[in-house]
Structure 1
Amino acid sequence: MRLRHPDGTPIHLAYCSNVHQAEDLEGVLAQLAAYAEPVRERLGVDRLGIGLWLARDVVTELVDDGRALARLKDELSLRGLETVTLNAFPYAGFHREVVKKDVYLPDWTHKARLDYTLDCARVLTALLPDDARRGSVSTLPLAWRTPWPAERSNTARRALDRLADGLAAIERETGRPVRVGFEPEPGCVVETTTQAVRELGGLDPERLGICLDACHLAVQFEDPGAALARLAAAGLPVVKLQASCAVEADDPADPAARAALGRLAEPRFLHQTRTRVAALGSGGTSSGPVEGPALGVARPRIPRQRGLAAGEQGDGSRHARGLGGPIGADNSGGSRRPDGHDGGFPAGPIPVGGPGDPTGPAGPGHARRSGGQRVPGEGPVLGVDDLPDALAGGLPADRGAWRVHFHAPLHAEPEAPLRTTAPQLTAVLSELLGGPVAACDHIEVETYTWSVLPRPPADLAGGIAAELAWARDRLTGLGLKEETS
């Protein structure tokens, strides 16, 4: 769907096809017929946006075979679909029985990630509608946070320079600009907007920017207005918004809440969980990240790594170009795979944020409003890498609400007493598009978790259509006008 901002900017609203299991071209074409076209028909629109996820093998076929690429473009047109954005975060195997941390592989220290992203951009230039201003591709926020020594940081920065050069070359060849957005995600090298500024500042803003995932923003307890102001001040454009909601438990000690959370603790995807704890002691406030023993849980085996100055390593030394500091050897307690990927989970909570990071400690008596929801601001944000770890005692259950990285349908509440962070998504939309100038023009509804809900829907197309209608109604409520062909 397309809408028009009052400033004249066309706004593209799509849903992301990574909800569908298809890793060959025939599967992608089949999902267009089985789901995307029925979604368009449910909405009663002539043209529907679809943000395609194309696995590595599909992209290779499309780059190597012009007839295959023309076939995909023709099929999109035939079914009243258009594509202005690709989701290139998952590389392959996104619907395997167990995905978890493998979704971050290969990361930006591997040439395969650069090659895949540039190939996605090439494919997108051929799929873009003739009147589209540009295309966008979203990708992971560099890597999972461990291991991240200085040499990997420097390797990634060089890859980003080559990425910008490659995108410029593609635009010269095709006349179609494509920007890549790095998507901050809990547990990664870049998980907050403060870290995005620190790690990604100084990149070419014409080619590179941020893919803002509203679920991730909520899980990190970031205030939408402050987060977006921070990115704008650093010259980091929001290339794309992923319209998504997290799951929240106001009282995670409540047996009913724990039972409902337990039914979300499924084995396929990683569900990072965070809490903003209240201050320690009576009437006092915490002056720094709360370590595990103070909360009655095991001290985390991952050393504190947040809150460093740009380019500063944990030992006070510095490294080149401010792409982030190392955390040393793999201290996660898990097995170390040959590719260096951390396969284990911490025993206790990870202090998230730090001095200067809004997810770190706040001032005395302060409470931050986030999307209309009041969240405690007296203490820091703590996190564990997966929901089962939180339920097993990895997070305090009596110090504040839990937010879970579980993409919940936008239009429906989860099992009571859980709720979603839809108010925060509404606030993000307002901050980006409620003002006199549109701050983002690509919006992708990304609820890839339909199949792992406790009760998966019998009518997936109907659910996706309801989400898109929810997003459209919020946008028109901000003064945008829906366009018809």
Structure 2
Amino acid sequence: MNTEYGHLTYCSNIHPGQSWAEHFQSLQDNIPFIREQLAPGKPFALGLRVANEASLELSRPAVMDAFKTWLAAQNVYVFVINGFPYGGFHNTVVKDDVHTPDWTTRDRLQYTIRLFRILSELLPEGMHGGVSTPPLSYRLWWNTPAEREEAEGAAMSHIMELLDELISIEKEKGQLMHLDIEPEPDGLLDNIGEFITWYRKTLLPVATAYLTEKYGVSEDAARELIFKHIQLCYDICHAAVGYEDPETLIQELEETGIQVGRIQVSSALRVDFSSEKEIKRKAIETFNEPVYLHQVVAREHDGSTTHYPDLNEALEGWSEDQQEWRVHFHVPLFIQSYGVLDSTQGDIVKTLALQKQKPFSAYMEVETYTWGVLPEDIQKPIGESIVRELQWVEQILNHE
């Protein structure tokens, strides 16, 4: 949907499946209902998730033509693709495999190129397109600073090849495409602050040298290409887990010149341990499930933080000295509290207020993918849940 503050969509990674047939069936089952509730008679935006297996199938001309025909009949348009999870994302143990394959591998490069070519076929005229992607790699796979530096170098080499592809698409088809890198707790780029530092100190120098040598352009022209084609996927949940302040982040992004390809509108769990400590520790245990990574950043009495790779490890390491937890568990946007537990809904409100004041991205994408693993009393039918989330975002955007 096109709002006064940018295009608003939801990410179809909420739906299970790895094959294109499974993806397409989920869209056919859900999109007509959702569209009629939110935008009857108007164009409806879709943030598409395409698994690797599905991307191979959708790359076939006959399959692509059938999908484009269906999109036109449904009055649905696609301008962003979620390229973070490569394989299975539901009904299987995902955990740190969500980063597999990472940007140190050619599999990740080839998959991402394929997604951009798919998006090039789907992108409406006059719009730019983005593919989201992991934060280079998973930090805990690399044991030493030297190993992490080597992984970062391998990732950079593949991102330079992708940059060639994006430059080529723009030259040949006039379409602006951007890679939207998504920092995540325990990623090689753990948070947006780290992403900004990496962008300034590593990406810009390396990519500028690469482009000036390969294309014979000036340093200023090379930097312009980098800023256009390598952008940030600003996930509000991830930023909140890292206790990052939205206003500070957006100011730093603006000062650096880094563009935000999309805002992923998402909410994390928050636990305030200033009271009812044991009751709250017991309550958070109900969210300890075996499918996804639920990284925890705990804030101590002195303001320092302790990072836990997953919720079960945080529960084992819990201490009464800890003041607050932020838990990477995407929870429904429209619910502020879960009994004695809270959410980071306030960070969404702050971020969208800044978007309303001075839009810093053209695209907003709701991304709550954990409905199937939420405690049973929170689970609702998927279609109704998506509608409620998008309506809640619209209400925040329209509130004076």
TM-score after normalising by structure 2: 0.88
2:230 to 198, 204, 208: 208
Higher relative contact order, structure no. (Cα contacts within 8 Å, ≥ 6 residues apart): 1
1:469 corresponding residue in structure 2: 391
Percent of pairs identical after alignment?
A: 33
The C-alpha deviation readout for 1:188-237, integer Å capped at 9, x for no partner, is 11112221122222151110011010000000001111112122222221
Q: Is the 8 A contact 2:336 2:344 kept in 1?
A: no
In structure 1, the residue matched to 2:182 is 183
What residue ranges of structure 1 are gaps of 5+ in the alignment? 6-10, 280-378, 479-485
Match in the other structure for 1:174 = 173
Shift of 1:13: 0.5
User: Which residue number in structure 1 is paired with residue 314 of structure 2?
Assistant: 390
Residue in 2 aligned with 1:79? 74
Indicate the residue corresponding to 1:221 in structure 2: 243
Deviation of the 1:96 alpha carbon: 4.0
In the alignment, structure 1 residue 245 sits paired with structure 2 residue 244: no
SS in 1 for 2:132: strand
Residue aligning to 2:130: 136
Match of 1:47 in 2: 43
Cα separation, 2, equivalents of 1:101 and 1:395: 22
Q: Who is 2:3 aligned against?
A: 3
Which residue is 1:381 aligned to?
305
Residues 417 and 30 (structure 1 numbering): CA distance in 2 closer, same or farther, change over 3 Å? Answer: same
1:457 and 2:384 matched: no
Distance 2:22 2:58 in 1: 14
Query: Residue 219 of structure 1 aligns to which amino acid in structure 2?
Result: V
1:116 counterpart residue number = 111
Structure 1: 4+ residue segments shifted above 6 A: none
**Alignment equivalent of 1:58, drawn from 41, 54, 57:** 54
Offset from partner CA, 1:150-176 (integer Å, 9 cap, x none): 322211111121111111112222222
Contact 1:238 1:439 in 2 (8 A): yes
* 1:62-111 superposed Cα distances (whole Å, 9 cap, x missing partner): 22x11111111222222232211000000011114210000001111101
- Unpaired stretches in structure 2, ≥5 consecutive residues: 208-225
The reply to whether residue 400 of structure 1 matches residue 323 of structure 2 is yes
Q: How many residues align?
A: 369
Measured against aligned partners, the alpha-carbon deviations of 1:425-475 in whole angstroms (never above 9, x if no partner) come to: 11111223322xx21011110000000001163421111100001111112
CA gap 1:84/1:397 in 2 versus in 1, 3 angstroms: farther
Q: Secondary structure at the match of 1:205?
A: helix
User: Which of 405, 416, 429 in structure 1 is aligned with 2:339?
Assistant: 416
Residue of structure 2 in register with 1:433 after alignment? 356
User: 1:445 and 2:376 equivalent?
Assistant: no
Give the Å deviation of 1:177.
1.4
Q: What RMSD over aligned residues (CA atoms) do the two structures have, in Å?
A: 1.6
**Residue type of the alignment partner of 1:184:** P
1:216 maps to amino acid: H
Larger gyration radius, structure 1 or structure 2: 1
Deviation (angstroms), 1:115? 1.1
Alignment equivalent of 2:286, drawn from 263, 278, 290: 263
Query: For structure 1, which segment, 209-218 or 406-415, has the greater mean C-alpha deviation from structure 2 after superposition?
Result: 406-415
* SS of 1:242 mapped into structure 2: strand
Partner deviation per Cα, 1:99-157 (whole Å, 9 max, x = no partner): 000000111110111111111111011111234x2111110110001314332221111
8 Å contact kept, 2:80–2:131:
yes
Secondary structure at the counterpart of residue 49 of structure 2? coil
Q: State whether residues 17 and 88 of structure 2, in contact with CA within 8 Å, keep that contact through their aligned partners in structure 1.
A: no
Question: In the alignment, which residue of structure 2 is the partner of 1:278?
Answer: 301
Deviation (angstroms), 1:54: 0.3
Deviation track 1:226-264 (CA, whole Å, cap 9, x = no partner) reads 112122222221111100000111128623322221111
Instruction: Report the AA paired with residue 256 of structure 1.
Output: I
Structure 1 equivalent of residue 21 of structure 2:
26
Cα distance in 2, alignment partners of residues 93 and 23 from structure 1: 6
Q: Tell me the equivalent position of 1:336.
A: none
- Amino acid across the alignment from 2:370: T
More helix by share: 2
Residue range with higher mean Cα deviation, 466-475 or 149-158: 149-158
Q: Which residue of 1 aligns with 2:210?
A: none
Query: CA contact under 8 A between 1:42 and 1:462: conserved in structure 2?
Result: no
TM-score normalised according to structure 1 size: 0.73
The match for 1:334 is: none
